[in-house]
Amino acid sequence: VYEEMTTKKVLTMERLRGVSMVDAESIRSITNDPESLIVTALNTWTSSVMNMPWFHADVHSGNLLVLEDGRVGFIDFGMVGRVGEKTFKAVSELSSSMAMNDYEGMAKAMCNMGATDADVDVKKFGRDIEQVMVDMSKVSPDVAAVGVSNDGTVQA
């Protein structure tokens, strides 16, 4: 951030030289593994949500650049968000419940984060989540070479 050129209404930052994530041909001129760039961008964004006081709240391919050196650059921070302590705790509960296939726990976590109406039958909601997860497990994806490493990042 260039403080001397920044005001309450204008944020002046370093220029990033790269190509838009929507320009597949230009991306291939920088790297022969564009899928890994998407995974890197996802990991970077997820890490910012989990570890920083604020995060980029308008992430889409138009707001991501593939830099000349192969890194991913985030642009247009006109919309940022914060995860409150209650929501952060609920997301942690949701993650733990998902890891243990605890569907009622998932339902409670979603209720705790405000993703439901106030009057929800948590047991029934848990059964509904279980059915959705069972149905999803029957879907055959086009790409199956994705995994999660020990540090929680997604790997292609």
HSE (side-chain half, CA atoms, 13 Å) at 144: 4
Respond yes or no: is residue 119 known to be catalytic: no
Catalytic annotation, pick one of 33, 58, 76, 128: 58
How many whole angstroms separate alpha carbon 83 and alpha carbon 134?
A: 30
Maximum alpha-carbon separation in the chain:
57
148: left (phi over 0), alpha (psi -120 to 50) or beta: beta
CB 21 within 8 A of CB 27: yes
> Active-site positions?
58
